[in-house]
Amino acid sequence: MVNEKKTLYIETTIPSYATSRESSNLVIAARQFLTKRFWEEEYDNYQLYTSQYVIDECKLGDPEAARRRLNFLLGIAVLPRTKTITELAAAYFNLLKIPGRAKSDCFHLATCVIVKIDYLLSWNCTHLGFASYVKAVEYNNKRGLWTPLLVTPDYLLNLADHEEETT
């Protein structure tokens, strides 16, 4: 029996960290390093997806930086916007009380739920952090909805390292 690859949704912070200039901020620099390492070593072990929401976010800001982010996403399947995703994102927005400027986070989560993506890969743990994630899990469980695991590149790198040790 062939193991199917787990599905992985690439959220906007991933191309942002992978393509931005090296930061002097140690936390940001570490995230950049881990994102690039994940991309070099592990991304091919997953079935990759992103969405039109990510594409739209990646287009914002400095044109050269936007070009790098969009190039990073080339070859990754782009999931379309749907009415069902929009409706679920609105429900998450009301439930989680996310600031309006971060509303797109609700669309990323809703996309993963509707498409049944295994992992939502992101460094954005502020608005979709632990407390919000727990609320979303409870909401989804009550409605019989799928819930992806919200993970960072270092989590998947550690998971891969652990799997290598046990095989």
More confident residue, 127 or 114: 114
What per-residue confidence (pLDDT) applies to 161? 64
Of the candidates 51, 46, 44, the one whose C-alpha atom is nearest the C-alpha of residue 7 is: 46
Give percent above pLDDT 70 in the chain: 93
Read off the DSSP letter of residue 21. P
First to last CA, the chain: 17
Render pLDDT for 7-55 as a digit per residue (tens, 0 to 9).
Answer: 999 999 999 999 999 999 999 999 999 999 999 999 899 999 999 999 9
Band of the pLDDT at 56, cuts 50, 70, 90? very high
Q: Which residues are within 8 A (CB) of 68 and not within 5 positions of it... i.e. 6 or more apart? A: 15, 19, 20
Are 120 and 152 a contacting pair, CB within 8 Å?
Answer: no
Q: How much is the average pLDDT of 111-119?
A: 98
pLDDT band per the 50, 70, 90 thresholds, residue 164: low
Report how far residue 53's alpha carbon sits from residue 42's, in angstroms, rounded to the nearest whole number: 24
Instruction: Report residue 164 as tokens.
Output: 């290598």
* Domains located in the chain, CATH noted: 6-166 (3.40.50.1010)
| Residues 149-161: tens digit of each pLDDT | 999 999 999 876 6
- State how far the Cα of 42 lies from the Cα of 50, in Å rounded to an integer: 17
